[in-house]
Structure 1
Amino acid sequence: MKPEIILYNLIPNELLEQLKEHFIVRYHKLDTKMNASFYEDLIKAKGIIGSKMKINRTLLKKAPNLKVVVNISVGYDNLDLTELTNRGIMATNTPDVLTDTVADAIFGLLLSTSRRIPELNDYVKSGKWNENIGEELFGIDVHHKTLGIIGMGRIGTAIAERARHGFKMNILYHNRSNNQKAEKELNATHVNFEQLLRTQILFACWFRYVPKRFI
């Protein structure tokens, strides 16, 4: 007989069908107060798949057969890793699932603000574009400018790759440690936090804690 698992987030149908080939899937909508049927299924469940549910000692006491917790999320702050370890339950997450998506979104914002795309879109739609626009609406170039990144982790590096390879930008970054790969492949320069803020840059991307005195 197939092992039973609990799924509490909707996933694409093709992935759901793959799960059903190997498991009996019990779906429950995540709620702050899960109903009695959830706890009935939890007793038999070998796995839990989803994100945001608090997997703590209280819940694990009611899951005697649980073998794995799959967190569909970059983070894992909802998981009591100590308790999971003590019980021999495997925990997983998806650290790279949104790296390129976030980097694309950030670079989209950079281009939109620099080239004043939302403003000019409204300008055209409102019927004001009936002659050449003035220089005040040109915006500024992105290519060959300097980009400042605070936190050169996965997302920061993905943004730097787009900036360097796509727009030939100079990369300055502040990080707790040097990212040697970024320095070698993207010609990125590591600077301290104060120096980064003093430099004339086109755009700064925050991916680390920023002291309040700088906000």
Structure 2
Amino acid sequence: MPVESLKVKRERAIEVCRRMEEHYGPVECFLDHTSPFRLVISVLLSAQTTDAQVNKVTPELFSKWPTPEALAAASVSDVAEVIHSLGFYKSKANHAVACAQAIVSNFGGEVPHTMEELVTLPGVGRKTANIVLNVGFGIVEGIAVDTHVNRIAHRLALSPKTHAKEPLKTEQDLLKIIPRELWGSVNHQWISFGRETCSAKAPACEGCMLEDICPSAHRV
């Protein structure tokens, strides 16, 4: 089978984005938050856990420790007790407290708003940083590739199969073929699509709005 050209992939990617925008329009962040600080902690907690589960624990978390200074001074065991319903809650409690401490000690209590600075925070990788920049500051540096975005990118053959388990490489593949002005909407629209239609176990290919341009339709 001939290798698909970058031009063909780009055309498909742009059409995918056009249809997503037409279907979903602007999609709000799924994590409840009122500030960049609460957003970065919420995204940090959401790894390998649903947003709905995170939204259940953050009201108590931020009621007890509403600011970076408060969370920085918190006991890790106390934080772990509040978020114990989340997966990997012990390591997440460690990261949350350490992240708050870094925000206080290294950035004067303000969440940094550059990719380079954000990824220095404990528990914050490029995916989390992309979400914080986009949602918290309106800055689009890339595309946050979570499990939904990664799955959809590969089902649409926008990233090679060899990158299926490497979200950072998948992101770079998407950045090459999706125009920069479209990056900002990809994460939340594709998450919505992944939840509603293109699920991991039972994708609803028949009647899907991308069925006619998806190389994996009916063969996932």
Which one has a larger percent strand, Structure 1 or Structure 2?
A: 1
Higher relative contact order (CA 8 A, sep 6+): 2
TM > 0.5 fold call: no
Which one has a larger percent helix, Structure 1 or Structure 2?
A: 2
Task: Give TM-score, length-normalised by structure 2.
Answer: 0.23
